[in-house]
Amino acid sequence: MKTIGTASVMCLMLALVSTAANAKPLTSQELADKGLKAGENYPGLHNLCDLSSRFRIAGSRPAGSTKKRELSAEEREKKRQGAYVEPTRVFDNLYFVGNRSVSSWAIQTSDGIILVDALNNNDQAERYIEDGLIKLGLNPKDIKYLIITHGHGDHYGGQEYLVNKFHPKVVMSDQDWNMLEDPEQMIQNPRWGKPPKRDVTINDRATISLGDTNVMLFVTPGHTPGTVSLIFPVQDGETRHHVGLWGGTGLNFGPKEDRIREYAQSAENFEKAAEHHNVDVFLSNHPRRDGSVEKMQNLQSRAPDTKHPFVDGEDALGAFQLLHYCTLAQAERLAERDQ
């Protein structure tokens, strides 16, 4: 066997470093293509890779749009029925109690329930969360923690009903508590309920422990200044899996390159954490992003000893890779525009 001398090894290393330094950066389209390939199994995320899309701002309307007319009582009820999703036991210890637009996830532990997000308003909290838990055989009085993934009202809006009736501790990042306490940063929408009052404040890589369950919380800024993403265990019979729940998906703050790059970095950091903790299930707080409704339908017809519809193995990491590459592509799109 031929031995390579120390000098030769050093030359090879210097050549590799030089090649990497001179490598041409990927274009916005190349980054978007890379993201689409990594996350091909998650079509609900693919619009993040569309480099022709407009940068929107949460709470604003596109130019030229008109104010929506007030719906009649009959129309509102029809809309509610269309949004309804049957409350579902997704894993032995994880339950869906949201609607077609927004998710609320209930993690059952040996000492109560950790609820993730509170939907748009008090009516939805009662209709979907409270009634859903009861229908699933759970007691809403057992809700001990309400984790709010970020400070937009479609995720905190039903907190008032839940807090007044069941008294859970409300958990948010320090950054998003600050956002809700600042009138200039806070986003208003007439469909949303009242924002919560500061309760439990967490920082990056905090853990909420309840009974036999630990939920790891990662601050992943981008969608909001302090969006929280989660990693936690779930059971499917004798098999344990790990969920990576991304806390805020859209780029809804306008064409701010620095913030989009921050989002991309958050996604990359969370993907590394997800890999370290063996995440094999990707979830979102919007069903169309992770395909929850379709997967729950498949779950109802699942044959014994077959693959769980929500379990994607290592492919689950592709969702976070898409979030990284495609948001980075959007930042490069802005940089290319300004050149």
For residue 20, is it within any domain? no
pLDDT at 52 over 90: yes
Query: Whole-model pTM?
Result: 0.88
Mean residue pLDDT across the chain = 90
Q: What is the pLDDT of residue 13?
A: 54
Question: Quick one: three-class SS letters along 148-181?
Answer: CCCCCHHHHCCHHHHHHHHCCEEEEEHHHHHHHC
How far, in whole angstroms, is CA 146 from its chain's centroid?
A: 15
For residue 9, is it within any domain? no
Q: What is the pLDDT of residue 186?
A: 85
**Model confidence pLDDT, tens digit, residues 25-36:** 899 999 999 999
DSSP 270: H
- Per-residue pLDDT, averaged over 49-66, amounts to 71
Calpha distance 269→320 (Å, rounded): 9
pLDDT band at 14 (very low <50, low <70, confident <90, very high): low
The DSSP bridge partners found for residue 228 are: 219
CB 98: neighbour CB atoms within 10 A? 28
List Cα–Cα distances, 310 to 206, 214, 292, in angstroms.
Answer: 26, 20, 8
For residue 3, is it within any domain? no
pLDDT at 19 over 50: no
Q: What is the pLDDT of residue 77?
A: 53
Element (H, E) at 77: helix 73-83
pLDDT at 139 over 80: yes
Please choose, from the candidates 136, 133, 179, the residue with its C-alpha nearest in 3D space to the C-alpha of residue 156.
Answer: 179
- Per-residue pLDDT, averaged over 71-95, amounts to 76
CB 118 within 8 A of CB 159: yes
* Domain extent for 120: 27-54+78-338
pLDDT band at 224 (very low <50, low <70, confident <90, very high): very high
For residue 69, is it within any domain? no
pLDDT band at 18 (very low <50, low <70, confident <90, very high): very low
pLDDT band at 338 (very low <50, low <70, confident <90, very high): confident
For residue 40, is it within any domain? yes
Helix (H/G/I), strand (E/B), else coil: 59: coil
The DSSP bridge partners found for residue 169 are: 145
CATH of the domain at 289: 3.60.15.10
For residue 277, is it within any domain? yes
DSSP-derived pairing of the beta strands 88-91 and 112-116: unpaired
User: How many domains does the structure of the chain reveal?
Assistant: 1
Calpha distance 105→145 (Å, rounded): 12
pLDDT band at 134 (very low <50, low <70, confident <90, very high): very high
Identify the residue with better confidence: 15 or 264.
264
For residue 274, is it within any domain? yes
For residue 5, is it within any domain? no
